[in-house]
Structure 1
Amino acid sequence: MGRIAEAALARHRAITMAALALLVIIAWAWIALGAGMGMPIHAALALFPHNPTTMPAIGSMAGSTPGFALTFSMWWVMMIAMMLPSAAPTVLLYARASHRRTGDPEPPTAIFVLGYLIVWGGFSALAALGQSWLQAHALMGAMTMQSASRWLSAIVLLAAGAFQLSPLKDACLASCRNPAAFISRHYRPGAAGAIRLGLIHGGYCLGCCWLLMGILFVGGTMNLAWIALLTLFVAAEKMLPHGRRIAIASGIGLIGWGVATLLV
């Protein structure tokens, strides 16, 4: 019976890994193709740079209900693409820990992931609201989707850098870097326990990275290079042996970048 359960768990883990990989691939494909926003807007910028007749129309779209829904979708898919890869080890560890505690060869892993993504959905809604407000006040380019204000860029960079050096960053990063201790502390059985654990884990990851995501306002919210760079950086912080040192070094670098933005 034990071998049968272990085989079922191994199958469940394989399916989970495949599902996570597929979800991440789809999200990255969506970003790369610029579905709905990126490609058309950047194409318009290339074809009609500084066209005074098109900029107001595109800018006003961001504040509309369809425009907000599109911006929210962009952010949420982007967060899935960026954050799910570094969460995968915790997801797989949860499946094994749940099996060991309950004997269930098919633990509610999908519900755990759902809780995690709900947190990033909430963040995406706030980010979309922020982007709409910034565009409405001409602080962010409607077509370039990046900061149009030196002061805004500097404030974001300085805030992100300071946060990288803060005790809150330390606490959240420590939890993300030690999934075994996190699961041991917060685990509850069943579907309700799974979504609760996903929400808590998402909260820690959000606490660890939310100001880093603000850098996208500086580099461009649909800039593929910036998205990829931040994805790798978040994974390095969480998974490499000296993640805390990486965070400290990046904090110093971001503060320097923010100061340079004001002075240059």
Structure 2
Amino acid sequence: MAASPLELVLARDRILVVASVVGLCLLAWLFLVHLTLQMETMDGIAARMMGMQTDDSLSAFIATTMGPGAATLTDASVNFTLVTLMWAVMMIGMMLPSAAPTILLFATLERKSRQHGISGRTAAFVGGYLAIWSVYSVAAAAVQTLLSHTHLLSMQMAATSTFLAGLVFIGAGLYELTPLKDRCLTQCRSPIEWLPRHMRPGRLGALHMGMEHGIYCLGCCWVLMLLLFVGGVMNLIWVAALALLVLAQKLVPGTLVLTRITAAVLVASGIVLLVHPLLPAHLLPWQ
């Protein structure tokens, strides 16, 4: 049976939305790969730091954050802005794939209700979602700056203290067991129920909906994102692993079991990190 004109347009719009989401994610990951490669050229970065050439590249600014501090208030503010940008791009690459089902369903509902091409409401919805994670990026950049200047982060932006790393692991694991985590994850996993109940008119309404969905997503995943400070903010394998965990929790059936397993693994890892420095070397299984 031939598809109706509406079905053809819906298919076209779906391809457009998917292409846009995939394109944003791809650009974000390409940026992170480029930044990681730059960060690995530590000799060149160190040379730029010594010369205070902070206008050379984004990596120079981020590297300055890892050092003793910027020379002027202007340098520090620009540096903080670019670290925030790094976090914002990372959040796009990590979180947008897990929000794709909700975005696609929103776009489909829009197309069916309006009987013409995708309106600006879909873009407003995505913008609202990303705005919430942009706010989180500011907070994460502030934490990174604080940890860097207290020498609790290495040049690879990973925790230098096993005690701190252990506490973060345990905190993330315990948060997986909280009612707030369950509630937020339920909202993120059920867009077909969530969207009709929260539908608002106009582009401003779509922006508000995107922000509301972003808040639920933030409530679900913000502690997991803190694990980036343990494995390394620019450790792309670690970043990808956390992104896949978030995606699995939102899309794979049996989420309750998955979150409980995640909690157990995180808490156990944290305990190992806390106990490790206290044990005599001959008692450690890997010695």
Q: What TM-score does the superposition give when structure 1 sets the normalisation length?
A: 0.89
Instruction: From 100, 106, 111, give the equivalent of 1:88.
Output: 100
Is 1:169–1:207's contact at 8 Å kept on the other side of the alignment? Answer: yes
What's the offset of the Cα at 1:81?
A: 0.3
Aligned to 1:15: 16
Instruction: From 223, 226, 232, give the equivalent of 1:211.
Output: 223
Aligned to 1:138: 151
What's the offset of the Cα at 1:195?
A: 0.5
What's the offset of the Cα at 1:8?
A: 3.4
Is 1:8–1:106's contact at 8 Å kept on the other side of the alignment? Answer: no
2:70 and 2:170 map into 1 onto residues whose CA distance is: 30
1:224 and 1:20 map into 2 onto residues whose CA distance is: 20
2:123 and 2:163 map into 1 onto residues whose CA distance is: 42
Aligned to 2:281: none
Structure 1 gaps, min length 5: none
Aligned to 1:33: 34
Report the residue type matching 1:40 in the other structure: Q
1:228 and 1:202 map into 2 onto residues whose CA distance is: 20
Which moved further from structure 2: 119-128 or 5-14? 5-14
Structure 2 gaps, min length 5: 53-62, 277-287
What's the offset of the Cα at 1:47?
A: 9.8
When residues 167 and 6 of structure 1 are mapped into structure 2, their CA distance, relative to the original with a 3 A threshold, is: same
1:241 and 1:45 map into 2 onto residues whose CA distance is: 47
Aligned to 2:214: 202
1:119 and 1:213 map into 2 onto residues whose CA distance is: 14
What's the offset of the Cα at 1:77?
A: 0.6
1:57 and 1:100 map into 2 onto residues whose CA distance is: 49
Is 1:5–1:105's contact at 8 Å kept on the other side of the alignment? Answer: no
Counterparts of 1:103-182 in structure 2, within 5 Å, are 103-107=115-119, 108-141=121-154, 143-182=155-194
What's the offset of the Cα at 1:11?
A: 2.3
Q: 1:156-185, CA deviations, whole angstroms, 9 ceiling, x for partnerless residues? A: 111100000111000001011111111011
1:43 and 2:31 are equivalent in the alignment: no
1:250 and 2:241 are equivalent in the alignment: no
Aligned to 1:229: 241
What's the offset of the Cα at 1:235?
A: 0.6
1:209 and 1:57 map into 2 onto residues whose CA distance is: 26
Report the residue type matching 2:153 in the other structure: M
2:45 and 2:76 map into 1 onto residues whose CA distance is: 24
Report the residue type matching 2:22 in the other structure: A
Which moved further from structure 2: 250-259 or 39-48? 39-48
Aligned to 1:64, what secondary structure does the other structure show? helix
1:56 and 1:175 map into 2 onto residues whose CA distance is: 40
1:134 and 1:125 map into 2 onto residues whose CA distance is: 14
2:43 and 2:171 map into 1 onto residues whose CA distance is: 30
What's the offset of the Cα at 1:6?
A: 4.3
1:40 and 1:98 map into 2 onto residues whose CA distance is: 42
Report the residue type matching 1:125 in the other structure: V
Report the residue type matching 1:81 in the other structure: G
Q: 1:20-72, CA deviations, whole angstroms, 9 ceiling, x for partnerless residues? A: 111111111111121xxx33333217998xxx9x9988421498122212211
Q: CA RMSD in A?
A: 2.5
What's the offset of the Cα at 1:155?
A: 1.5
Q: 1:116-173, CA deviations, whole angstroms, 9 ceiling, x for partnerless residues? A: 00010000010000000111111112x1101111221111111100000111000001
1:229 and 1:56 map into 2 onto residues whose CA distance is: 27
What's the offset of the Cα at 1:196?
A: 0.8
Aligned to 1:146, what secondary structure does the other structure show? coil
Aligned to 1:222, what secondary structure does the other structure show? coil
1:124 and 1:161 map into 2 onto residues whose CA distance is: 22
